[in-house]
Structures are given as C-alpha cells and as structure tokens.
C-alpha cells in the first residue's frame, strides 16, 4: 500500500469560512433545476484550473469550440454543451481559501530539485514556466481591468539562520546560471531599516504579486457563462464510469455525439443524478483521486491554515508579500495599506504536518496557537504588542493538492497500468503553486479537447500549417523574452527538447509550452516518487517513511 492511498473523499459540506468568499456572486449558481442528459464536455471543479478550462473552451477565440450553447429544451442538436460541476460554492476550494499570493518558483530548493529531477535543466525550466505563467495572469488582470486588489510588489523571503541564508545564496547563484533572475538580496542591516530590530540575518526578494484570487475565477466563470457555459454549484461528483451500449443508444436518439469514436462517460453526482459526456476534465486538485483511484499517492491532500486579523489592526504593514521559515509561513496585507492581514502556514506545528488531511471544516488547535505566537514577531510591527489585534480574527483552512514528484499532472488521464482513458483529462497536483500554472494548464486541456473534436479536414489543415512553422514555441529566446526576468545568453541554456509541442501540430506559436514531465505517463504512474518529500516537509516526525 502506498503512503497516501486513502480516499480523500469529497470536499467537506460545511467548510470553515474563508474571508475571500464573503461576497461570492456565484455562490449557489445553478443553470437549471436538472442537469442535461448529455454534455459534450463536463468539467469537474471550479477553481483556477477548472475555470480556466471553461474560459478557454467558451471564450478565447484561439481555443474555443464552435456552436456552444446553453442547455435548454430548445437547444439545437448540433450545439455543443460545456458543463461545469462544482461540489460546493463557485471557487470554494483551494483557490478561494489560499494566502493571496501569485509567486512563481525562483531560487528556493533549486539545488534539491535539480538533484531529484536528475537535471538542473528541468528545475530551471519549471521556474521559467511559472514566471511566464505569472506574467500572463498579471497581463490578463490588467488587460481586463479585473478588480482583484492586484499589485506586483515582490515577495521577501527572510532567514534567521546564517547557515540557511548561505544555502539560499548558493541556490541563488545556481539558478542565475540558467538565466533566472529578478532577485534582490537584503542584508540584516537592510531588513532592520524595514522592520526595525529583528533576528533576521538576511533576505531575498523575488518577483511576485498579491491578489484576491477568487475574483479572477469569478471573472472567468462569468465570461464563460455569458458564452454558453452551464454551471452547477453544490453538485458533487461521486464517480465517472464508462457508459453501457444501451445507455449510448438512448442518448443518440436525442443528440448526435461529438467525439463519437471514443467512449461515452457516465458522471454520477451525490444525489444520484447522471450526466453523460464524451469529454471529462478532472480539475479537482487534492480530491482528484476520489474518482481517479490510480492517482492516490500521486496526488494527495495537504491542509493549510490561515489567520486573518481585522483590517483596523493590520494597517501599514508592507506592500510586498512575506515568506518566513523556508516558505512554510506566508503573509500579505490585503489592499495595502488599509486591508486585513492574511497570514498562513505553520503546518510544522502539527504532528502530521497536515499531510493526508482533506477536511477543511475545522482548524488545527496547534496551528491556531503557533500562528498567534508568530504574529508577535517584529516583522508584524505594532500587531505583536497589541492584544486587541487578535480579538477580531478570521481563521480558515484549505486543502492543497500535492503531487508526489513536485510536478502537476496535466493531460489525458493515464492509469497505473499505463492505459490512457480516452476522453478523460486531468489538471491537478499543483503543490501549492497553482496560481502561476493553472491558467496556462487549463488552456492546454481546452486545446487538447478542441483538437480531439477536429474533423479529418480540420486536422489536415492544421497539419499542413505545421510545415510552415519557423520558430518553435520552445525557443529559449522567445521564452526568455516572455519571462521578463531571464537573461540570455546565460552560462546554461534550456534546450527545446524539455518542452512539449504546443498543440498536436505545434502550430500555436503564440503560446508557450508545457514541460514534457507534466504529462501523465506510464513511467510516472507506475512508481510513486518520494525522493523530494523530506525537503518539501512532507514526512512527519513519526512517519515510517
């Protein structure tokens, strides 16, 4: 049995109340009283990944499907239905419960990641991908004028131990040799000017932003709904099974099936209601293995906890994000300088490290106590000397989906035996770093679905266009320019061979590629990778691992 082979179950029915979700415009949105009998595409999960998939299928002209329509009694037979099923309120999972950071990976853990991946190149490529992804989200927010408390003030990572700081500087030097830049190094004296007297020996600020994440998701969902998405909140999915021949024949009496050459899937909800689909997208992150049992231990839940004092006690802290204890604590001030503090982490105070915990209906008493103690540190200014700061606080938990090998699973679902489940896709296992990844990964799922529905003629046209592609989407010069922080030429260069083609025919050169290592594969699925778990703080002190 693998270490985390337990069923994570469905999301809690009565989760702790996240301050991000107080005014959810899509809280209990339901398109119709009953589900469609058949939907060409069913997306499970309304977080950043699921909402991005829906947006790119319904709205983005570069990846959208033709003839999308809302479900009704008068829906035309040749229309395509895109349906999204959410277990709770819209964006009620990790994206609606996180710390408000948009931080791409940078120098931290670069040396350890390189050792586990077996290559510095792959570790550098992941960081480049995340930086481009964070830039894209930033540009999307600004272009669409999304009101989401967005600012790009960086993330300051602090060190209280000289040995740890020296190790951080070694990682910084190593990552810079691959052209990953944008960092600022702070001495103890520099930090005293910011925070006053502290025990910090140094710090490194990296590119990063502060944001109200749920507002991005609500924007994406609203746009998708306007363009034909059928959204059903409070509709948990219990299982996805292949439809029988008799079931398929009954469906065909009412609607011609797109993607009919592949299987049809039966999606059953907790209420017993059924909906059939040619394409199913699993965008459920920590809960993915409730339905996809083969992904247990490959994707597993890790609970995070947040403490948020009221705005009147949190004013004038800092405009940037803060990272403490090797990233195990993190903080921002919302809507600086007048918003409330959002301070999370401290799972090392739990005997289990909160690993394998999928219940966000309660908070951990140990973490409650530890976060209250840490808020007394000098970095939090006047708050530690003011007991009133903790009189009016919000506390909540959220469940992250960690992958075994520190890389998300994005693409067609593959089982442990190496068998591909045709028509089923996954975008999950973002390991607390979904904000810079999910928007692009959702678009990849949309692209894969659109290509799978191409007619033979459309496929031949796309294939002929590929012959005229002059520059690969994986060109390091192009990617360096998109990253805005990458210096080229650098000592080392990321080769094009680490990147996947963009689309089946690699014709979408306007986009940037995913890494090949993100795709589910027989090699990834046949073995649970635990090599990185110790430095990722996933092995509890009493664990037998």
Q: Which residue has the higher pLDDT, 475 or 363?
A: 363
The reply to whether 117 falls in a domain is: no
Provide the CATH number for the domain around residue 181: 3.30.9.10
Residues 253 and 287 in one domain: yes
Residues 253 and 192 in one domain: no
Residues 193 and 309 in one domain: yes
Tally of structural domains, the chain: 2
The reply to whether 427 falls in a domain is: yes
Q: What pLDDT shows up at residue 545? A: 44
Domain final position from 361, 384, 403? 403
Q: What pLDDT shows up at residue 78? A: 82
Backbone phi and psi for residue 444, each to the nearest 5 degrees, phi listed first: -65, -40
Give the pLDDT band (50/70/90) at residue 1. low
Tell me the C-alpha distance between 501 and 301, whole Å.
30
Most confident of 80-89, 458-467, 493-502: 80-89
Token representation of residue 101:
């950071």
Domain final position from 403, 430, 461? 403
Domain holding 373, by residue range, is: 148-211+299-403
The reply to whether 504 falls in a domain is: no
Taking the CA atoms of residue 68, residue 37, residue 450 and residue 280 in that order, the dihedral angle to the nearest 10 degrees is 140
Please state, in angstroms and as integers, the Cα–Cα distance from residue 267 to each residue in 7, 241, 261, following that order.
Answer: 18, 7, 19
Tell me the C-alpha distance between 395 and 15, whole Å.
11
Please check the confidence at residue 372 and state whether its pLDDT lies above 60: yes
The reply to whether 483 falls in a domain is: no
The reply to whether 486 falls in a domain is: no
Domain final position from 369, 388, 403? 403
Residues 203 and 346 in one domain: yes
Residues 395 and 417 in one domain: no
| SS3 label, residue 366 | helix
Pairing of strands 38-44, 82-85: parallel
Give 305-346 pLDDT, tens digit per residue.
999 998 888 888 999 999 998 778 999 999 999 999 999 999
Provide the CATH number for the domain around residue 250: 3.50.50.60
Residues 169 and 237 in one domain: no
Give the pLDDT band (50/70/90) at residue 510. confident
DSSP string, 219-285: HHHHHHHHTT-EEESS--EEEEEEPPHHHHHHHHTT-PPTTTTS--EEEEETTS-EEEEEEEEE--G
Mean pLDDT throughout 173-194?
96
Residues 230 and 267 in one domain: yes
Mean pLDDT throughout 435-457?
95
CB 231 within 8 A of CB 225: yes
Q: What pLDDT shows up at residue 501? A: 87
Q: What residues does 343 pair with on adjacent strands?
A: 307, 331
Residues 79 and 188 in one domain: no
Residues 317 and 179 in one domain: yes
Is the pTM here over 0.75, yes or no?
A: yes
Q: Which residue has the higher pLDDT, 480 or 15?
A: 15
144-161 exposure pattern, b = at least 16 Cβ within 10 A, e = fewer: eebebbbbbbbbbbbbee
Mean pLDDT throughout 405-427?
98
The reply to whether 327 falls in a domain is: yes
Give 523-543 pLDDT, tens digit per residue.
999 999 999 999 999 987 655
Please check the confidence at residue 202 and state whether its pLDDT lies above 80: yes
The reply to whether 10 falls in a domain is: no
Give 89-143 pLDDT, tens digit per residue.
999 999 999 999 999 999 999 999 999 999 999 999 999 999 999 999 999 999 9
Give the pLDDT band (50/70/90) at residue 253. confident
* All residues at 6 or more sequence positions from 64 whose CB lies less than 8 Å from its CB, including other chains: 56, 57, 58, 227, 446, 450
The reply to whether 2 falls in a domain is: no
The mean predicted confidence, pLDDT, of the chain is: 93
Residues 290 and 220 in one domain: yes
Structure-token match 């990458």, residue found: 486
Q: What pLDDT shows up at residue 544? A: 47
* All residues at 6 or more sequence positions from 157 whose CB lies less than 8 Å from its CB, including other chains: 108, 168, 203, 204, 205, 206, 323, 324, 327
Please check the confidence at residue 27 and state whether its pLDDT lies above 90: yes
Sign of the alpha-carbon dihedral angle for 486, 489, 492, 495: positive
Tell me the C-alpha distance between 507 and 460, whole Å.
12
Please check the confidence at residue 417 and state whether its pLDDT lies above 60: yes
Give 32-82 pLDDT, tens digit per residue.
999 999 999 999 999 999 999 999 999 999 999 999 999 987 888 789 999
Residues 217 and 279 in one domain: yes
Q: What residues does 397 pair with on adjacent strands?
A: 305
Q: What pLDDT shows up at residue 503? A: 79
What is the separation of C-alpha 231 from the centre of its chain, rounded to a whole number of angstroms? 20
Residues 529 and 385 in one domain: no
Mean pLDDT throughout 192-211?
96
């Amino acid at each position: 049995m693998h270490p985390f082979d337990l069923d994570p179950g469905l999301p809690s029915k009565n989760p702790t109340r996240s301050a991000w979700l107080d005014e959810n415009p899509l809280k209990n949105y339901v398109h119709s009283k009953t589900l469609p009998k058949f939907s060409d595409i069913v997306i499970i999960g309304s977080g950043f990944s699921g909402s991005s998939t829906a947006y790119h299928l319904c709205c983005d002209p570069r990846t959208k499907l033709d003839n999308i329509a809302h479900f009704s009694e008068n829906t035309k037979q040749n229309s395509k239905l895109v349906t999204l099923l959410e277990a709770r309120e819209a964006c009620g999972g990790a994206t609606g419960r996180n710390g408000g950071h948009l931080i791409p990976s940078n120098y931290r853990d670069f040396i350890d990641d390189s050792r586990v991946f077996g290559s510095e190149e792959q570790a550098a490529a992941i960081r480049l991908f995340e930086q481009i992804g964070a830039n894209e989200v930033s540009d999307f927010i600004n272009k669409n004028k999304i009101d989401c408390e967005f600012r790009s003030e960086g993330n300051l990572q602090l060190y209280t131990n000289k040995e740890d700081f020296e190790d951080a500087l070694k990682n910084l030097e190593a990552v810079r040799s691959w052209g990953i830049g944008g960092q600022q190094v702070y001495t103890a004296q520099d930090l005293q000017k910011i925070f006053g007297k502290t025990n910090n020996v140094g710090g490194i600020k990296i590119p990063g932003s502060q944001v109200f994440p749920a507002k991005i998701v609500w924007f994406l969902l609203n746009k998708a709904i306007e363009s034909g998405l059928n959204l059903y909140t409070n509709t948990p999915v219990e299982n996805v099974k292949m439809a029988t021949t008799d079931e398929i024949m009954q469906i065909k009496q009412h609607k011609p099936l797109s993607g009919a050459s592949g299987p049809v899937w039966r999606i059953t909800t907790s209420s017993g209601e059924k909906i059939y689909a040619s394409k199913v997208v699993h965008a459920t992150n920590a809960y993915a293995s409730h339905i996809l049992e083969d992904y247990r231990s490959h994707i597993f839940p890790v609970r995070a906890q947040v403490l948020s004092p009221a705005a009147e006690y949190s004013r004038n802290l800092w405009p940037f994000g803060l990272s403490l204890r090797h990233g195990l604590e993190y903080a921002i001030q919302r809507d600086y300088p007048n918003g409330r503090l959002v301070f999370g982490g401290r799972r090392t105070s739990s005997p289990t490290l909160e690993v394998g915990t999928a219940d966000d209906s309660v908070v951990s008493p140990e973490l409650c106590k530890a976060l209250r103690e840490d808020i007394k540190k000098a970095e939090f200014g006047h708050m530690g000397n003011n007991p009133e700061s903790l009189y009016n606080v919000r506390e909540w938990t959220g469940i992250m989906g960690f992958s075994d090998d520190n890389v998300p699973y994005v693409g067609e679902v593959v089982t442990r035996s190496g068998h591909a489940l045709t028509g089923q896709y996954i975008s999950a296992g973002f390991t607390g770093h979904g904000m810079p990844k999910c928007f692009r990964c959702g678009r990849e799922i949309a692209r894969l679905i659109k290509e799978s529905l191409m007619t033979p003629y459309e496929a031949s046209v796309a294939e002929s266009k590929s012959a005229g592609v002059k520059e690969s989407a994986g060109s390091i010069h192009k990617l360096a320019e998109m990253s805005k922080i990458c210096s080229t030429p650098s000592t080392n260069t990321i080769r094009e061979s680490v990147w996947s083609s963009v689309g089946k025919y690699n014709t979408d050169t306007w986009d940037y590629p995913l890494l090949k290592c993100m795709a589910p594969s027989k090699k990834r699925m046949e073995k649970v990778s635990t090599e990185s778990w110790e430095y990722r703080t996933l092995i509890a002190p009493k664990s037998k691992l």
